Each structure stands twice: as C-alpha cells, then as structure tokens.
Amino acid sequence: MEMVSSELFQGASNDIAGQIGLMWDQVKAPVILPLLRVAVFLCLVMSLMLFVEKIYMTVVIVVLKLFGKRPEKLYKWEPLRDDLELGSSAFPMVLVQIPMYNEKEVYKLSIGAACGLSWPSDRIIIQVLDDSTDSVIKDLVEIECQRWASKGINIRYEIRDNRNGYKAGALREGMKHSYVKNCDFVAIFDADFQPESDFLLRTLPFLIHNPEVGLVQARWKFVNANECLMTRMQEMSLDYHFTVEQEVGSSMYAFFGFNGTAGVWRISALNEAGGWKDRTIVEDMDLAVRASFKGWKFVYLSNLKVKNELPCTFKAYRYQQHRWSCGPANLFRKMFMEIIKTRETLLKKVHVIYSFFFVRKIVAHIVTFIFYCVVIPSTVFLPEVHIPKWGSIYIPSIITILNAVGTPRSLHLLVFWILFENVMSLHRAKATLIGLLEGRRVNEWIVTEKQGGGAFKMRTISKSDGKQRFVMGDRLHVLELGMGAFLFFCGFYDLAFGKNYYFIYLFLQASAFFVVGFGYVGTFVTRP
C-alpha cells in the first residue's frame, strides 16, 4: 500500500513539474524573451546615460582642479571689517533658523553652535523653530534658549500649534515674524548641524559683494563616519555628491540643489522665488530650482565644512533615503512644465531637466536596482539573452571607481560599498516610482533619528520595565530577505547550468541582502 502511495505521489509530482515546464516553454518565447530583451536594451541605454554624465562631471572637476577656479576667483570676495564710524551697523542683519522636532539628543549642540557664531550681537537673531510633540523635550529646548538669552544672545523660541508642511511649514512661519523684516540674510541649520564660529564671516561676503548671488552652500562633515560600516558607506556616497556634483553645478551653471541646511539665503531671493512650499518633501530643492529660474546664482564652498551626523541605524537611513529619492522624483513631475515654460536659456533647461533631475534623480536609482538586481540575475534562466561585457562589467566598474575617488580613505571598502548600494537601490527605486506616480507614501516625512555627537547611546531601560523588548519588525526586513532568496536561487542555477560566472556576483549580492534583511547592518537600538 505504501509503495503504491509513493508511486502515485511521485507520478503526481512529475506530472506537476512537467506541466510547469510545458507552461514555461509556451510563455518563454512569445512573452518572456522579448520583455527581457527590451529590459536589457533600456538598462544599457540608461547605463550609458549615467556613464556619460559621470565622465562629463569628472572632466569638469579635473579642469577646475588644474586651473584652480575657486569661488573666490569667480566672484568678488573681501573680508568684512569693522568700521569705526558705522560700528556694528556696517554688518548686515542676519537671521539664523534652527528647525527642530523632538531633538533631545542634539538640541544643545546646534543651539550652542549657532549662539557661538562670530557676528555682532546686535546684528544677529537666532530663531529656534520647535515643532516638538513631546512636552518634556519642548521644555528642555525652551530652557536652553532662555539660558543663552540670559547671556545676552538675541535668541527667539518659536512654536506653532500644528506641523502643517513639516520643515517647510516651520521655516515659512518663522519668516512671518515682525523682527525678520529687519534681516537681509537667513542661515539655516538642521538640529544636528554645528557650524564653526567663522561660518558667517566666510559665507556672507559672497552675498554682500555679489548682488546676483542668492545662496551660499557649505559642505557637510560627518562626525560619526567611523561609527560602523554603514556610516562609512554613506560617507562614500555623500562625499561624491559634495566633491563632484555640487562643485560642477556651482562652477558651470551657478546652480545646484540646496541641501536644506548649512547654507545662507538672501531673503529677497527667497521671497522672489515664492518662499517655502510644502508641495513635496524636498522643499529645499523646490526652492533652489525656483530661485535659479528667477535668475539668482548659487555659490558652493567645498572648503567650508559644517559638522553633522549620519544616521547610524538602518531604519533611520532607510526613511531618509525614501525621502531623498521620492521627493526629487515627485518634484520633477510637478515642475517639468514650469521649467519648460520659463524664459531661461535652453542650455540651463536641458541641464536641470535632463542632467539634474532625470539622470541623477531618476535613472540612477532605477537602473541600479532593475539592471543589477533583476535583469542580470534573470538572464541566467535565458541564455538566449546576451548582455555585452561593456554593459555588465566595464561601464559599471568605471562608474563605481569614479564614485569612490571622492573618499580615498575608503577605497579598500569598495566591494562592500557596491553591494550595500545595490541593496539600498531597492528602496530608492521604489521611492522614485512612488514619487513619479504620486503613490500612497509620496508625502511621508519621518524625521531622521539622531544619537548626538556621533556616539552610539543605548536607550536607557527603567528598572520597572524589566527586560528590553525585541520587536521582530525592527530586525527582519521582508523585502531584502525576498530579494536575497531570489538572487541566491539565480546563483545556484547559474552555478549548475550557466557559463558566464554570474554566480560569483549573485552569491555576494544575495549575502548582502540577507545581512541587511536579518538586521545585521548599522547600529541596532533596542526599544525600552
């Protein structure tokens, strides 16, 4: 009886396998093969677009370095000096805005740094815009402001009864106060940013002596880059942005995307552009594009660095990357026709639409995930689909090297960076599509958690709480685990039947997805 049951089961299994194989043969030629070939073609085109963009920016940077075209040579710059007759009135009135939201770990650092800026005390106003929902944190921030006020600092603590517009809403409301009318310039620092005391002395001369300049942007310096491998990977990606993308935009077009912090705006430029808008979650980029098409020029100072903190938990980093990928794609959708209709030159329109938005903010995210994590792995099942070596090996290698040269100290981590970036491309591609299609999470804004000073701090657990709570959702990430399983299966198939050695890459990439999927990346903070 058992033998009969076994034979029946085996026969049924063979029959099911045969049916699946038959269905695959029927679908493969008319449907799967054409679709995969189209996908390969589109990915190769996007790879070429990205490659040309990287080569172009590299050439520009090399030329800039060789000829030493620093902002001080491109624009008039003279240090500000005391005037015995005019006194402090020789210095323009400056507003410093610090938007906050439940920033318990870092509020003292940012307020202290802003209050320590070298500028005549009667010509500067520190404005703390506190949107905190935690009453305890609000009290702490207010007390800190009172403490600095008692030392003679002109500091204002401002709150509102809602969070409409998030950061953009807070900055917009901050500009409505009567005392702001006396200010000519506004410097903006997020809650974890700590400018050096000479920040205003180094940035304001560009705005004072060049009436066409509307924004001066400083570079970011990461205080916790060595905290873990994930922060080192972030440093590599952001260093390229600051050493290449921002530098090229400033030098060639006097335009780049405002980073939302560590920058100084001419208030008249901000107002002429229409002020802060909350139609997307990248209000800083929105303002920069509008101001640029009003004719204002931007200056980027790569040698002026402002200390800040990188997200050290994967959860915080993932939310940040969602915002940074979804927002630009959504802004591109909303501003495309606005840009087309402006009276700016065709060259500038092409630069902003094609280079700034389409290639860097959309193509870069989509091709990384679709090509390297979906299309290439899928071709192991269909050897009829050929991917040329220049598309699968040479171009990706050159792009990777050009990205990594911005952080020479981390070149030995290049393989880890490639694998981690491919993992993160899953979230970036998803967020980009949400932004383009205006999906459900298009306006999701979750403030990036900070740890304070870059030092990892375990959250304190009260005695009454007993043991630390482990929440499975905080540690396991289903999407990454699913992608890891898919790539692992593709790797085994290629090892058994393939001839192109893709399995080496597939096993490595699958391992990276599994590491992230099981939560072994970044710093893990347990919940109290």
Catalytic machinery residues: 131, 284
Q: Cα separations (Å) of 364 from 109, 316, 454?
A: 35, 22, 29
String of DSSP letters for 425-443: HHHHHHHHHHHHHT-TTTT
Alpha carbon 133 to chain centroid distance? 25
Q: How far apart are CA 164 and CA 406, in angstroms?
A: 38
The region, left, alpha or beta by phi > 0 then psi within -120 to 50, assigned to residue 247 is alpha
Which pair of tokens denotes residue 127? 């404005």
Neighbours of 11 (CB within 10 A): 10
Q: How far apart are CA 404 and CA 35, in angstroms?
A: 33
Which pair of tokens denotes residue 94? 């400056």
Of 166, 439, 353, the C-alpha closest to 277 is 166
Q: How far apart are CA 330 and CA 307, in angstroms?
A: 29
Specify the residue for token string 């080496």.
Answer: 504
Q: Cα separations (Å) of 441 from 170, 362, 424?
A: 21, 17, 17
Longest Cα separation, the chain: 111
Strands 297-308 and 185-188: unpaired
DSSP-derived secondary structure letter, 313: B
For the chain, the residue count is: 528
Residues 6+ apart with CB under 8 A from 406: 236, 239, 240, 242, 243, 244
Q: Cα separations (Å) of 151 from 98, 111, 517?
A: 19, 13, 50
On whether the CB atoms of residues 169 and 163 are closer than 8 A, the answer is yes
String of DSSP letters for 320-387: HHHHHHHHHHHHHHHHHHHHHHS-S-HHHHHIIIIIIIIIIIIIHHHHHHIIIIIIHHHGGG-TTS--
